[in-house]
Amino acid sequence: MNRLSRLAWWLVFIVGFLYFFLPLLGTFAFSMRSQPLFSAYAVVTDDPQFAETLIYSFIVGVLTIIVSIALIVPTAYWVRLRLPRLRPYIEFITLLPFVIPPIILVFGLLRTYSGGPLPLAGSDFGSNVLLVAAYTVLSFPYMYRAVDTGLRAIDVQSLTEASQSLGAGWLRILVQVIIPNLRVSLLSGAFLTLAIVVGEFTIATFLARPAFGPYISLLGGNKAYEPAAVSLISFGLTWIAMGLISLFGRGARTRVQVVGAR
């Protein structure tokens, strides 16, 4: 750990950072070519569709988050508490959305729900339900990992047993003991989910939903600089959301670390 090696490490960091942000800078520079400066941004934010689709996507995102949390938290908790041997399998299942292309997912959804006993894809309401359902699946990896990491940080078994010996039932344990200690994890999972839902294109297009992803892509077909501007705006919004997580996260993380008995 002499000076030289420390320098080398910082160099690696800086190179990695540049490597990563260069594309972003390139996009930004490109969006700036429209004259006058920032006019691409002005055009975009003036378009009523911009706000409409963004709000639609945000609402879908929030619904997705609620469904996802309701499914994942009890499952992850129970697996950690009683079925630790199932953990690798559950983890595996939650990873599937990474490896199944969304096109397959939407393909299958449409085929399954277009006719038969549940013709959801036929109506607007049904399509919205399908969209939330599909996004819930997409959110599984992020949400499960976030929750699982959160559960790891607390001593799930002892806390549960302590609550039980004090007379608490499962619902109370979940609501008063487990979930309050997952605050940061849930926030982190929620924001990631939101970011993905807002940016998603394939599924929304196939289900013909007025979402933000298809709107960007539509823009991409017609305009030159605006898609870059829109992408950067949505990226900026996500960034703000992520910044919020790390703000929330810092305080709570120190707390959790200090608490545990070594």
Residues lying near a copy of itself in the complex (CB under 8 A) are found at 1, 5, 9, 12-13, 16-17, 19-20, 22-27, 29-30, 71, 74-75, 78, 82, 88-89, 92-93, 95-96, 98-101, 103-109, 111-112, 133, 137, 142, 145, 170, 192, 195-196, 199, 201, 216, 220, 227-228, 231-232, 235, 238, 242, 246, 249-250, 253
Q: Pick from 80, 100, 63, 57: which is nearest to 196 by CA?
A: 57
- The kind and range of the H/E element at 67 are helix 48-82
Three-class DSSP labels, 83-144: CHHHHHHHHHHHHHHHHCCHHHHHHHHHHHHCCCCCCHHHCHHHHHHHHHHHHHHHHHHHHH
The stretch near another protein (CB under 8 A) out of 104-112, 189-197, 218-226, 252-260 is 252-260
Q: Is 168 in the site for another protein (CB under 8 A)?
A: yes
What angle (nearest 5°) sits at the alpha carbon of residue 43, between those of residues 37 and 47?
Answer: 160
Nearer to a copy of itself, 31 or 181 (CB): 31
Residue type (1 letter), 258: V
Residue with tokens 């959301």: 241
Q: Which of 24, 55, 93, 256 binds another protein (CB under 8 A)?
A: 256
For residue 260, give Cα distances in angstroms to 35, 77, 93, 156.
57, 18, 30, 11
Q: What is the DSSP string of 181-204?
A: GGHHHHHHHHHHHHHHHHH--HHH
In the complex, minimum distance from the CB of residue 208 to a copy of itself, in angstroms, rounded to a whole number: 18
Nearer to a copy of itself, 32 or 43 (CB): 32
The stretch near another protein (CB under 8 A) out of 64-72, 111-119, 164-172, 231-239 is 164-172
Residue type (1 letter), 109: L
In the complex, minimum distance from the CB of residue 261 to another protein, in angstroms, rounded to a whole number: 4
Q: What is the DSSP string of 3-17?
A: HHHHHHHHHHHHHHH
Nearer to another protein, 103 or 256 (CB): 256
Residue with tokens 């996004």: 135
Q: Which of 45, 49, 123, 164 binds another protein (CB under 8 A)?
A: 164
Number of chain positions touching another protein (CB under 8 A): 27
Which parts of this chain interact with another protein (CB under 8 A)? 1-2, 154-155, 158-159, 161-169, 172, 176-177, 180-181, 255-256, 258-262
